[in-house]
Amino acid sequence: MEYETQKIDEGIEKRGLPKPLHKLSAEETERRRASVMIGSDILAYAERFMREEGFSQLLPVLLSPITDPLWPDPAAGIYKRLEFDIYGTTVRTMHSMIVHKLVGTSLLLDRFFVVSPNIRLEKPERASTGRHLFEFSQLDFEASGASSGEIRSIIERLLSGLIEHIGTAEGKRFELLKGSLPKFKIPFKVYMREDLEREYGESWEDELPKHIEEPVWIVDLPREFYDYEDPKTHRWDNFDLYLPGRGELVTGGLREFEYEKMVSKIGSAGVKAELYTLLLELAKERKIKQSAGAGIGMERLIAWITGAKHVGDVQAFPKIPGMVYEL
């Protein structure tokens, strides 16, 4: 164990990855404390904002037979999917609560949000990207009858109000971080995915953040079966929000709700339909309502606002791909 710990410490130091709490210097501890406290304020503001928008807060789901397939999303980089048996049933760690959101807005509440812990074992080579974690939280929300444009507007207003609030409330802590708040205007510019592919090629996700100075929306992204695809134009009514120098912060869109389209897309994607039996049964019975929603990566949001080099630097206990710290 001592040898393994030494190897981890050497890997952290060599690659410039976030240190565990007990390895921080006094100055580094002060900066970590400032980041975590600003993050606490960001989370509190976001929760207040969502309630004022008419969203009720639900508690998260950690284990379920059903979770986000993360396929065929090209941005997914899953190293291993965690599943195990409890009470004779196979369950999985939550990748995202998307299926629960579809069912929840159809059968329980029209508008709700969850601060949802997600476990996605990212590929170890993603440790040094500064953007990836294997355990993180999303501000996940969904609204029955909403459009993807309405969801984007909610997010723009949330980010705009959040920056203003943090600038007023967290000035002293920002002095410790020696950073400056992001500046932008809303509404954000909107780019078509196919236009970016023509300009930057297949690696547009990596290239785009190098060429923007404010957040931008990307729309029409071929993705999982639960995002809406227009049967006539074959365009996807969904979106990502990209940050300058950092990449994706938000994923969301309008949702599929028709049984036949879900079944067809699950089949063409090679996803196991038996994992989504309940959702498909509800859709077949026309109990699934159309909704729209999104998930905001909270560590990425906090890192962007505080200027942290790595998203693990805003976690009290970093969860870096390929690295298992003692806490």
* Secondary structure of 259-281 in HEC code, one letter for each residue: HHHHHHHHHHHCCCHHHHHHHHH
**What is the model's pLDDT at position 5?**
55
Give the Cα separation of 40 and 101 in Å (integer). Answer: 25
**What is the model's pLDDT at position 11?**
75
Task: Let me know if residue 268 belongs to a domain.
Answer: yes
What backbone phi and psi angles, to 5 degrees, belong to 64? -165, 150
Section 156-185 average pLDDT: 94
3 confidence band (pLDDT: 50, 70, 90): very low
Single-letter code of the amino acid located at 113:
F
Task: Let me know if residue 248 belongs to a domain.
Answer: yes
Give the Cα separation of 308 and 126 in Å (integer). Answer: 17
Residues 6+ apart with CB under 8 A from 222: 72, 236
Give the Cα separation of 221 and 305 in Å (integer). Answer: 26
73 confidence band (pLDDT: 50, 70, 90): confident
In percent, how much of the chain has pLDDT > 90?
89
Boundaries of domain holding 127: 2-314
Give the Cα separation of 321 and 133 in Å (integer). Answer: 6
Task: Let me know if residue 289 belongs to a domain.
Answer: yes
Task: Let me know if residue 103 belongs to a domain.
Answer: yes
Task: Let me know if residue 234 belongs to a domain.
Answer: yes
116-148 burial, b for 16+ CB within 10 Å, e for fewer? Answer: bbbbbbbeeebbeebbbbbbbbbbbbbbbebeb
What confidence tens digit (pLDDT) does each residue in 251-277 have?
A: 999 999 999 999 999 999 999 999 999
**What is the model's pLDDT at position 41?**
98
**What is the model's pLDDT at position 16?**
86
**Number of other CB atoms surrounding residue 270 within 10 Å:** 9
Task: Let me know if residue 319 belongs to a domain.
Answer: no
Task: Let me know if residue 142 belongs to a domain.
Answer: yes
Section 226-246 average pLDDT: 97
**What is the model's pLDDT at position 7?**
62
Section 200-214 average pLDDT: 97
**What is the model's pLDDT at position 172?**
87
pLDDT of 301 over the 90 cut? yes
Give the residue carrying structure tokens 């207003």: 157
pLDDT of 142 over the 50 cut? yes
Contact 300, 147 (CB under 8 A): no
CATH no. for residue 26? 3.30.930.10
Per-residue 3-state assignment (H helix, E strand, C coil) for 201-256: HHHHHHHHHHCCCCCEEEECCCCCCCECECCCCCCECEEEEEECCCEEEEEEEEEC
Task: Let me know if residue 56 belongs to a domain.
Answer: yes
pLDDT of 21 over the 60 cut? yes
Section 306-317 average pLDDT: 97
Number of domains in the chain: 1
Give the chain's mean pLDDT.
Answer: 95
Section 96-124 average pLDDT: 97
pTM of the model: 0.96
pLDDT of 128 over the 60 cut? yes
